[in-house]
Chain A
């Protein structure tokens, strides 16, 4: 079974750590893009190999253009957006620009793992004959 390949856009070390904890046990490969430019290049060049991209939506302003660019690069890539509780408009913007799921911060590792399980499960389940 292929290890899930996850692209994480973040410069936040704590957030990266929580993602590591959440995906522990999944044998996942996590590509951490600290620079937006690097992450976008990965999406363009290896989008088909990725199981999903995860991005911190920040205040919704920078994130929306990034999200839209990622979606433009590879429309079929599932995108999970993390947004702060206060950014009420973030979910609306995220879904309007191609996000598959929008999660509110702070989110526990267990809650996060449960949320992303649905994104990776279909690809790794056996197909009925």
Chain B
């Protein structure tokens, strides 16, 4: 006889140490951000936060003070371009690297060095190693020390 167990009983993940680079994922797709957060944290290299409400993204970025922001472009109501513009206009965040995530480009286009709104971008679908590579390319201080 089979036993079916619904998995909804696990505690939330604990927060990571402060010295690791802080990555903020802004994506309305929680499946993606949950997967990316956990995958990135399991590498042991980053502390990762996620925000699934684009309207709250700027506020969350102010609170988290990330070293890098992964920002989905295609989101309802407030798209990634608007979020990036708000971050750029914020004196406390305007130096924070923003890397766009989008399913609207190919991986070849993402590797070409082209930019969207002055920011680099990564193509979805994306694996954890590809995300790590994209983060390291845009975290020069941390990349140099690793």
Contact = CB atoms under 8 A, between A and B. Distances in A.
Contact of B7 (A32, A60, A63, A93): A32
Interface residues of A, number: 40
Given A24-B2, A44-B42, A38 B7 contact: yes
Given A42-B10, A45-B10, A68 B127 contact: yes
A31 interface: yes
Given A72-B39, A72-B42, A37 B34 contact: yes
Nearest to A93: B125
B2 A26 contact: yes
Contacts of B3: 3, 29-30
B2 A62 contact: no
Interface string A31-51: 111111111111011000000
Nearest to A65: B35
B77 to A, nearest CB: 20
A27 interface: yes
Contacts of B32: 62, 65
B4 interface: yes
B36 A69 contact: yes
A103 interface: no
- Describe A's contact surface by its main secondary structure: helix
B1 interface: yes
A34 B35 contact: no
A68 B35 contact: yes
Contacts of A36: 30-31, 34-35
A57 to B, nearest CB: 10
Contact of B35 (A7, A69, A93): A69
Nearest to B126: A65
B73 to A, nearest CB: 14
Given A41-B13, A42-B10, A72 B2 contact: no
B4 A32 contact: yes
B29 interface: yes
Contacts of B103: 61
A97 interface: yes
B2 A69 contact: no
B5 A29 contact: yes
Nearest to B2: A28
Interface of A: 3, 7, 20, 23-24, 26-42, 44-45, 60-69, 71-73, 93, 96-97
6 contacts: A31-B7, A41-B38, A62-B29, A69-B35, A69-B42, A72-B42
